[in-house]
Structure 1
């Protein structure tokens, strides 16, 4: 998963991720932004899942739903959830695909992304 972090014209942190992971960039930029408290909570939740202290975690932001489980991290645009149920989105026969609305990656890769985001914000 390739990414680039930068500050926009209004000096807000932004993330741009590689194809198939664009939704993570929008989630980082818009929902998480520079919220250090939420970022620390997310990293702690991931650690708890990896260590088996928690089976899963879910957080509904302004624009995205973040779902974490032992294997994966997933962001889904709330707009998609208004149009489809979660069961529809999990159906592999669903023809709908929009990389800016939904993305998945491994949980440890997602943790690494969050740590890189934290380091970027602390620079």
Structure 2
């Protein structure tokens, strides 16, 4: 997973940029974790709990959520669309949108990235 952390030159807030495959981790870090120590601790607690449990664990945010299952961490936008009531011509567009609104990595990679994020801010 390739990423880079920078500071927004206007407001001084930390920004996270990820490669295309893991793009969703950037806005998740910025909007759901930010520089809030309690949110950072909640993610770490979820990761720790996942080490002793085999069921799916999830931390819901306002815009993005994190789920951990079987050593895999997935971040996804809460607005992921359902194609139930869409015209057939739009289904491919929704599938493409959904694909860009979710990303996964191993729990170890998540912990490494979170540690780097925490050290950055």
| TM-score in same-fold range (> 0.5) | yes
Q: Distance in 1 between matches of 2:100 and 2:35?
A: 20
State the shift of 1:5 in Å: 0.6
Instruction: Tell me by how many angstroms 1:97 deviates.
Output: 3.2
Work out which of the two has the higher radius of gyration on C-alpha atoms and give 1 or 2. Answer: 2
Q: Distance in 2 between matches of 1:36 and 1:24?
A: 18
| Cα displacement (A) at 1:101 | 1.2
* Runs of 4 or more above 3 Å deviation: 53-56, 97-100
Q: TM-score, normalised by structure 1?
A: 0.78
Task: Report what 1:13 is aligned to.
Answer: 14
1:65 aligns to what? 65
Q: Distance in 1 between matches of 2:54 and 2:49?
A: 5
Task: Specify every segment of 5 or more residues in structure 2 that has no aligned partner in the other structure, as ranges.
Answer: 84-90
SS of the aligned residue for 1:74 comes to strand
Structural mapping, 1:14-33, within 5 Å: 14-33=15-34
Question: Structure 1: 5+ residue runs without aligned partners?
Answer: 86-93
Provide the alpha-carbon RMSD of the alignment. Answer: 2.0
User: 2:113 is matched with which residue?
Assistant: 113
Q: Secondary structure at the match of 1:5?
A: strand
Distance 1:119 1:112 in 2: 11
Instruction: Give the number of aligned pairs.
Output: 110
- Determine the structure 1 residue equivalent to 2:82: 84
Is 1:102 the counterpart of 2:69 in the alignment?
no
Q: Aligned partners of 1:109, 1:97: CA distance in 2, in Å?
A: 25
SS at match of 1:97: helix
